[in-house]
Amino acid sequence: MFNDTTAEELSQVMEDAWEAFHVYRKLSLKQRADFMRSIAVEMENAGDELIQTAMQETNLPEARLRGERARTIFQLNSYAQFCESGQWLEARIDTAVADKVPAKPDLRKMLVPLGPVVVFGASNFPFAYSTAGGDTACAFAAGCPVIVKAHPAHAQTSELVAAAISRAAANCYLPKGIFAHVHGASSATGEALVKHHYTKAVGFTGSFAGGKQLFDWGNQRKEPIPVFAEMGSVNPVFLLPEKISVSAVDTAKQYALSITQGVGQFCTNPGVIIGIDNNDLDQFIETLAAEINNIAPAAMLHPGIYKSYVEKRAAVISQPDVAMIAVSATDAGLNEGTPTIASTTATAFLANPMLQQEVFGPYSIVVRCADMKEMMAVALQLEGQLTSTLMATENDMLQYEPLLEAVKNLCGRLIMNGIPTGVEVCLSMQHGGPFPATTDSRFTSVGADGIKRFARPVAFQNWSDSFLPDELKNSNPLGIWRTVNNELTKEKIG
Amino acid sequence: MFNDTTAEELSQVMEDAWEAFHVYRKLSLKQRADFMRSIAVEMENAGDELIQTAMQETNLPEARLRGERARTIFQLNSYAQFCESGQWLEARIDTAVADKVPAKPDLRKMLVPLGPVVVFGASNFPFAYSTAGGDTACAFAAGCPVIVKAHPAHAQTSELVAAAISRAAANCYLPKGIFAHVHGASSATGEALVKHHYTKAVGFTGSFAGGKQLFDWGNQRKEPIPVFAEMGSVNPVFLLPEKISVSAVDTAKQYALSITQGVGQFCTNPGVIIGIDNNDLDQFIETLAAEINNIAPAAMLHPGIYKSYVEKRAAVISQPDVAMIAVSATDAGLNEGTPTIASTTATAFLANPMLQQEVFGPYSIVVRCADMKEMMAVALQLEGQLTSTLMATENDMLQYEPLLEAVKNLCGRLIMNGIPTGVEVCLSMQHGGPFPATTDSRFTSVGADGIKRFARPVAFQNWSDSFLPDELKNSNPLGIWRTVNNELTKEKIG
């Protein structure tokens, strides 16, 4: 549908981005925020055409896409506000102490942008984690130009969003290199982008194979760069004994919805449910099976995701000691993912790495543990996760504290008595986690703290006040929070 | 002198560290801080024996070593205080909003430790960046056990410091796995440590070759881990025209001392000095030459560093268009590094990467630029640096703003009218910089912000207050700074 961006075009794009970087990074926080707010307005202005195009390309329903656009606009506006607050700059000031031996110089530090950021759009979030999505918003807030590699599964949607960003850039009189949009059907385009010497960071949301490849390319460069790849996870749910004895039915109903929401195409889909093998778990499974039976298959994002779902599901179900316990009663149409629940024993789960892998789609496997010792063994063996969930009463929490600690150690977000799907956009959100959930557990891709992926500290030593950035001047003209001689304050100095 | 730690011993060390991690990470900030303060006391208790041993192993003079121990103790105590303040935890709280659609859950986030950290001691800082140095202090503050690989050049000193840490661990009733000290003459020990599956992060200060190897090992693991390697730099100094016209002599005297301080064995040694080729620069060079002439050679840290200095210096000086302009008038004794100044043209410097490489020792090269355009070309071509320095009047700063911006973009610390040697330990220090100065410009290895290399955020969603960590409880029992519903505050909630 779109021609691949040529090597010559890519080279020009990166030259333009580098040039724009030197203009954009000097703009004020307010100017960056104004640009982001202008993108939000232009996303709205893109109107119904944007929604209709995305519906055609992704099979996602209109309400979901309208909601996702609203979320994307909220991200742009709320990150803009956080950008402007300056809190994320980690401004630190230590004033000079002349009578120390040797004399202590005046030192002032704040975050500055890394440089051009390459963003790879996610197939499952055509707006919120694609062209003008979270990574792009964070990079613009940090002061970095952005080059988006359009996701081929929604390239036309991406074009429309790119046009909205370009209109916003024009509204704000920014150099054209502030944003670029490129296409590439093969991985060659991505490789060229990640390895280009003007690229200084990468943001990605998608598969393990894709993310790990970008990470490796980033590290193999002569000048390695940070690649933040969010690569999904199985988001284990631990059903603790007392909780499940009092709410097996409610929990099962809640989870049937979470597992099948958006045809299971969320990074936080609960893919593994771990319980103690007893009558309560039987009741949970029975209810879950009945619910899943009643949920119809639905079209997945694109044929590739559908094919992968069918293959991975089949591979897991054919493993020894795995039983299919529920499947939608409705026949699947073209590219429709069928809600499916499997079950296995903890022994089989612990022995077979394939059972621990993500099956991206409306699928979950229930792991029957003989006792809490086996549940603990599962918690200790699981790889890094975006989320983990404890379904637990207060008694459960008190009684099984070591499990709680083990689960905390493997994930980025720990949910009590809830579902992992539904990622709130706010400062306290952590959407990240130990490898292989992401390539760097120290950062998040949801919430304004994601800005820090694309910024680095610079310390100014012994600078005249008039040449310091406004953020670090004595008078604190921007009124931002700063740590002055170890105390957080908005006060001016002297 | 010490036997290499065997593979079996390493395996046990890592098992112990992993076990200790699960105890230590649950201790309060105060308990971590108490441990760090106890190490500081035990460093003092190690007494003269520690100083004498380090003098024998490193050739560093007594006063320097006493000062460095005091600095190490200051680091431990000041990072302990910062640890206890809780400010670095980045506590973020967003309270629930029931009437939002969908309902917004209660979310609370803070940093938690990554896990066991492997620290490689630096040869040039036997105390401050070795066994109980900055990386170790940061890891303990973050809540991580530490495994130190002793630097072979001061293995006995390292043993004494390790004993001090072990006494502190015993004082604080910590599990023995909280700290381990291993030896290895070959790189096999380091490789095994970095690649061990219980190792979750690495800290290193040293050569580019060493740091890059550790970084590659860390990324090649099945589960990649963050490796923060500080690998030094040439710390360019830009002599701006008006400044050098009014203070060529003073600047030269100041720099003769900075270049030769500690026999030039600092990561922040000014290795490249860039000026405009005119009479003022001649006067600067003349004075610098006279000063260097009068500074005697001194013993370097160990024969390997001496040999490398002699070889690299000879290699640079034999390049085309490089002139030797000053050398100490005193003959060098065994393993003594001879203060040396070379000069070259900007044309030669820009064309020959070898001239841009670090020559670790009392050496600097003066780059003569035909004009400011050439100086700008040098600034744009230099690789990532720990520091850059501008010797400049206010007129220079106003007139050459693009140079200032270019220089800012290449380093972690930007000094105005000063010297880069002397790294103040305070919160606003940035000791880091774009690759190859470090492997990740987003972090620092000096100052308490270095703690964040070893910690990651975890979000708690929908947790009962009583099960939350104290740092996130409604009542804010620790009285720490938290961002509550986007506002920084120490107030309790509700």
Topology of domain B237-416, per CATH? Answer: Aldehyde Dehydrogenase; Chain A, domain 2 (3.40.309)
Compute the average pLDDT of residues A84-113: 95
User: Rounded to a whole number, what is the distance in Å from the CA of A246 to chain B's nearest CA?
Assistant: 18
Q: What is the dihedral of CA B225, B228, B229, B235, to 10 degrees?
A: 150
pLDDT value for B101: 83
Instruction: Kindly list the domain boundaries of chain B, sorted by start residue.
Output: 7-231+441-455, 237-416
Rounded to an integer, what distance in angstroms lies between the CA atom of residue B372 and that of residue B394? 16
Question: How does DSSP assign B59-127, residue by residue?
Answer: ---HHHHHHHHHHHHHHHHHHHHHHHH-GGG--EEE--BTTSSSPBPPEEEEEEE-S-EEEE--TT-TT
- Residue B74's Cβ-count burial label (10 Å; 0-12, 13-18, 19+) is middle
pLDDT value for A102: 84
Q: What is the 3-state secondary structure (H, E, C) of A42-85?
A: HHHHCHHHHHHHHHHHHCCCHHHHHHHHHHHHHHHHHHHHHHHH
pLDDT value for B494: 86
Whether the pLDDT of residue A186 is over 90: the answer is no
- Residue of A407, A355, A359, A364 whose CA lies nearest to A386: A407
Contact B424 A104 (CB under 8 A): yes
Contact A449 B430 (CB under 8 A): no
Chain A contact for B37 (CB, 8 A cutoff)? no
Residue A268 near residue A423, CB atoms below 8 Å: yes
For B461, phi then psi, to 5°, come to -110, 125
Contact A461 B216 (CB under 8 A): no
Chain A contact for B71 (CB, 8 A cutoff)? no
Amino acid at A234: V
- Give the residue carrying structure tokens 């160990």: B302
Other CB atoms within a 10 A radius of the CB of residue B234 amount to 24
User: Rounded to a whole number, what is the distance in Å from the CA of B4 to chain A's nearest CA?
Assistant: 31
Contact A414 B458 (CB under 8 A): yes
- Give the residue carrying structure tokens 């893109």: A46
Chain A contact for B461 (CB, 8 A cutoff)? yes
pLDDT value for A208: 96
- What is the value of pTM for the model shown? 0.97
Contact B442 A452 (CB under 8 A): yes
User: Rounded to a whole number, what is the distance in Å from the CA of B433 to chain A's nearest CA?
Assistant: 8
Chain B contact for A462 (CB, 8 A cutoff)? yes
N residues, chain B: 494
Residue of A nearest to B442 (CA): A456
Rounded to an integer, what distance in angstroms lies between the CA atom of residue B447 and that of residue A90? 13
Residue of B nearest to A435 (CA): B223
User: Rounded to a whole number, what is the distance in Å from the CA of B166 to chain A's nearest CA?
Assistant: 26
Q: Which two tokens stand for residue B126?
A: 């036997």
Residue of B nearest to A413 (CA): B459
pLDDT value for A21: 98
Residue B142 near residue B111, CB atoms below 8 Å: yes
Cβ-based contacts of A415 with chain B (< 8 Å)? 461-462
pLDDT value for A185: 87
User: Rounded to a whole number, what is the distance in Å from the CA of B487 to chain A's nearest CA?
Assistant: 10
Cβ-based contacts of B104 with chain A (< 8 Å)? 424, 426
Among the partner residues A411, A427, A457, nearest to B430 by beta-carbon distance: A457
Contact A483 B405 (CB under 8 A): no
Topology of domain B7-231+441-455, per CATH? Answer: Aldehyde Dehydrogenase; Chain A, domain 1 (3.40.605)
- Residue of B139, B147, B21, B123 whose CA lies nearest to B75: B139
Chain B contact for A243 (CB, 8 A cutoff)? no
Other CB atoms within a 10 A radius of the CB of residue B281 amount to 23
Which is catalytic among the residues A138, A144, A172, A267?
A: A267
Whether the pLDDT of residue A1 is over 80: the answer is no
Cα angle for residues A470, A474, A479 (degrees, 5° grid)? 60
Active site residue A230: yes
**Interface with chain B: mutation pick from A110, A461, A483, A489, highest number of B CBs within 10 Å:** A461
Tell me the three state secondary structure of residue B307: helix
**What Rg value do the Cα atoms of chain B yield, rounded?**
24
Q: Which of A279-288, A336-345, B94-103, B378-387 has the lowest mean pLDDT?
A: B94-103
pLDDT value for A109: 98
Whether the pLDDT of residue A153 is over 80: the answer is yes
Tell me the three state secondary structure of residue A230: strand
For A11, phi then psi, to 5°, come to -60, -40
Cα angle for residues A145, A149, A154 (degrees, 5° grid)? 130
Whether the pLDDT of residue A420 is over 90: the answer is yes
B 284-313: CB under 8 A from A? none
- Residue of B241, B288, B237, B291 whose CA lies nearest to B421: B237
Question: How does DSSP assign A283-298, residue by residue?
Answer: HHHHHHHHHHHTSPPE
Tell me the three state secondary structure of residue A343: strand
Neighbouring C-alpha atoms within 13 Å toward the C-beta of A322:
20
Beta-carbon contacts of residue A26 (< 8 Å; ≥ 6 apart): B405
Chain B contact for A176 (CB, 8 A cutoff)? no
Among the partner residues B102, B383, B428, nearest to A94 by beta-carbon distance: B428
ipTM of model: 0.97
Identify whether A102 is preceded by a cis peptide bond (ω within 30 of 0). Answer: yes
**Interface with chain B: mutation pick from A235, A428, A483, highest number of B CBs within 10 Å:** A428
Contact A216 B219 (CB under 8 A): yes
With a cut of 50, list the residues of chain B below it in pLDDT: none
Among the partner residues B82, B224, B404, nearest to A435 by beta-carbon distance: B224
Compute the average pLDDT of residues A11-23: 97
